[in-house]
Structures are given as C-alpha cells and as structure tokens.
Structure 1
Amino acid sequence: MHSLIKLEIQKMNIVSLLLTFIYINAGIIGLFLLLGLDKDATAELLVNYESVFMLMEIFIVAAFVIYASVLLSHMIIEEFRDKTISVLFMYPINRTKLLVAKVLIVSIVTFFFIIFSHILVFSSFAFINSMVHYISDPLTLEMLTERALRIFLIALSSAGMALIPLFFGMRKYSVPATITSSILIIAVIFSSIDSTTNLYSFIAIPIFLGIIGFLIAYLVITKSVKADL
C-alpha cells in the first residue's frame, strides 16, 4: 500500500498542488482584508473570535472540499472515463489497493490542507488584528485549545465528506457531476440557521458526513474492482 501511495504521489504535480494551497489561502486572507475595509461587514462579521473562527471554517472547508472533488476527478473519474485505469488493472496490482491509495491521497491532502490553512489564515488575521484592532477581546489559551480540537475533528470529517462526490461522479464517470455535487454539498451544510449558526456548527453533522463519505468510498471501490472495464 505504501508503495502504491508513493507511486500515485509521484504521478501528481506537487508544485501545482502547493501553489493551489497558497492561492486558496491568499484568497481567504484577502477576503478577510476586504471585510475589514467595510465598516458594516466588520461590525457584523468580525465582532469576536468565534465569528472569525466560523468564517475561517466556512471559507477553508468549502475551498478544500471542492478542491478535493477536482483531485477525485483527475485521479479517479477521468481514468475510468478514459479507460486508462484498465491499463493499470492489467498489471499484477491489487485493484482494491490501487483505488484505496488514490482515495487515501485525496483524504490526506484534504485533512492536512485544512489544518495548515487554519493555522496560516488565523496567524495572518491575528497579526493584522494586532495592528488595526478589529477585535479587542483577549484571545485565551482555552479558546485556542477548544478551537484546535474542533479543527482536528473538522479536518478529519472533511477528509471523509470530500469523498461523497464519488457517488455522483462514478455513476457515469462525470467530472462535472463530481465537482457540482461537492458545491451543492457545501451550499447545504453551510446554509445559515441564523446569523451565527449553520448546520456545520453542530460537530455531529460533519462527523456523520465524514463517516458517510468513507462508507461511499468503500462501496464505490468494492463495485469498481468488480466492474468489467
């Protein structure tokens, strides 16, 4: 399994992957800067650290779950659609392990990108806040500890949730269906219940969706290895 994961990573454009990470985070930091320029937006959205954490979570999870669907499309959907996966299946490689390796890479990338993005974006916001004072409340160790635990759970859950689009994409090996479904999932889970709460605020929901995502990946892999390509 380790060798298969290493092989799949070698096939990826690591520079492009890292540039995407940088661009997404630069965009999110830019959004916070734009919000800071608008007094009304600042008064409504940057009122305390909890609201900032929620905004960060929305931007970061949305960006990388959608990006995960792009990776799934490139690494799995396109290979099935173009039948290039059948060439790999001709080699003495366990089909299940090959597909698991691909799925694991997408999940691992999603997991770590979400964690590192939270660190990078919040560090940037904290630095900016120290100069312009959007938020005057003190940032306590307890707040950071609670947030760190939530970020870990959110990242792990998102690593599974990001696999849900496989269900839609693998039906007709459709890249548009894969990416569109990820956008719809994000739109639903981040739909507002009120001004400070969305569905993703309840930790049980992302955990449940993460489990569903891993289950879907298992079912898709099981079905795909038996398919006559």
Structure 2
Amino acid sequence: MFHLIKLELKKNKLGWFFKGAVLANIIILGFLCMIPAIGKSEGEQTFKTFTDFFMISGAFVRGTFTVFAAVLISKMIIDEFKNRTILVMFSYPVNRKKILSAKLILIFCVTFITMAISNLVVIVGFIGLNQIFHLTSAMNLTIDHFFVGILNLMMFSLATAGAALVPLYFGMRKYSTPATIISSLLIVMVTCSSVGTDFSLASIIYIPLGLAVIALGIVAGAIRKIDRIDLN
C-alpha cells in the first residue's frame, strides 16, 4: 500500500497543490490582519480573546482546504474515471481496491498535513505581525492556552480532513467535477458558518466528526463497489 501511495504521489505531482497552499496561507493571514485593523479603526475589538482568534483562523483554514481536497478528489479520481485513464492502472496486476484506497489515503493525509501546518503558520504569523503592528491588544496568550488551542485545531483538522472526502460520493455519481467542488462548498457552509454574533458552527467539533463518519461509509462503499464498475 505504501508503495502505491508513493506511486500516486509521483504520478500526480502535487507541486501545484503546495504552491496553492502557500498562497492561501498568505491570503488567510492577510484577511486575519485586516479584520482587527478595520475593527480598530471603528473603535471595536474584533478578537477579544485568542479563543476567538483560533476559532476564526481555524475556520478559514479548514474551509479553504476542504475545497482543495475536493480539487484533489477531482484530479486524482473523478477525472481519471471520466477520461478512462484509470484503465491503465486497472490493467496492472494490482487489486482495484488497493489502488482506490491508496488514492484516498493520500488525499486524506495531504489534506490533514496541510491543514495542520497552515494552522501553525497562520497563528505564528499573526502573533508575530501583532507584535510588530499592534493589531490588537485585547488578547492575552499563555503557553498553556497556545498548546491547548493548537491541540484543539489539530483535532478539528483531523475530523475535517475526513469530512472532506464526502464530495467523493457526489463526484462518482456521474464523474462530475462541478458536483465534487460544489458539494465541498456546501460542507464549508455547514462546518464553518456563523449564526448571529455569539454562535458559530465552526466551534462545534461534532459536525465535522459526523461528516467524517459519513465519509467513512462513502469511502467503504466506493471501495467495495470498485470491482463492479465497468469502464469499457
């Protein structure tokens, strides 16, 4: 399985993904710096605590890479079925289930790792810029709060990386890239939206966990049916 994952990684050349991740981090960090700056100009404190900041920054990161995961699903699975290039891999003396499993494991791992690293980059970047430009003075951060916040974000990232596989179901129905991307946007709306000023769905880990369980069922069903798919 590990050999198949390495082959998938070499075949798909994910340089574009990591370049996009770097650009996304810069944009997210820019937005997070603009929010308190605009609030400060209006005499308001946007980030009253680091808990608020962790929640908002985490929602930005998870929302962004949920869509990135859908693009990976589209390029690595949906397009190969649609264009029938998957037939080349299915002609190898390797079980189809292992091939599809390797693709999905790679997508999950890449999504989780980029989410985790991006959370760290954005948080450390904001703390550094805040020290220089004094974007907000309302947040008091201790080492304990920092590590608790990071651990919480890692748990959210793990659950969201699983939930990000849900678009596989919609994409595989008619091998549709638009359906894959649109379904990922719906997941972002469900997991990262806010209701009013004091309540946010982004703070409820049970939502991405529930979607991750659904995704597990979708993945299991897709792997089980892969031998019955006729591409001829």
User: TM-score category by the smaller chain?
Assistant: over 0.9
Q: Are the counterparts in 2 of residues 73 and 175 from structure 1 also a CA contact under 8 Å? A: yes
Conserved? CA contact 1:60–1:118, under 8 Å: yes
Alpha-carbon distance in structure 2 between the residues aligned to 1:29 and 1:224: 41
- Given the superposition, is the C-alpha separation of residues 227 and 23 from structure 1 closer, same or farther in structure 2, using an over 3 Å criterion? same
2:139 maps to which of 137, 140, 164: 137
Question: Equivalences for 1:49-128 in 2 at 5 Å?
Answer: 49-128=50-129
> Residues 111 and 159 of structure 1 are in contact (CA less than 8 Å); yes or no, is this contact kept in structure 2?
yes
Equivalent residue number for residue 157 of structure 2? 155
Report the CA distance between 1:209 and its aligned residue. Answer: 1.5
Contact 2:51 2:149 in 1 (8 A): no
Task: State whether residues 161 and 206 of structure 1, in contact with CA within 8 Å, keep that contact through their aligned partners in structure 2.
Answer: yes
Match of 1:170? 172
Residue type of the partner of 1:160? Answer: G
1:27 aligns with 2:42: no
Measured in 1, the distance between the counterparts of 2:66 and 2:211 equals 12
| Displacement after TM superposition at 1:74 (Å) | 0.2
* TM-score (structure 2 length as normaliser): 0.92
The letter of the residue matching 1:155 is: S
The alpha carbon displacement at 1:219 in A equals: 1.0
Partners of 2:217 and 2:202 in 1: how far apart?
Answer: 20
Partner deviation per Cα, 1:71-100 (whole Å, 9 max, x = no partner): 000000001111111221111011001000
Q: Whole-Å Cα distance in 1 between the matches of residues 222 and 45 of structure 2?
A: 43
CA separation in 1, counterparts of 2:227 and 2:73? Answer: 17
Partner residue, 1:197: 199
| Larger displacement relative to structure 2 (72-81 or 190-199) | 190-199
What corresponds to 2:46 in structure 1?
45
Following TM superposition, the consecutive aligned residue runs of length 4 or more in structure 1 with deviations greater than 4 angstroms are none
5+ long unaligned stretches in structure 1:
none
Unaligned runs of 5+ in 2: none
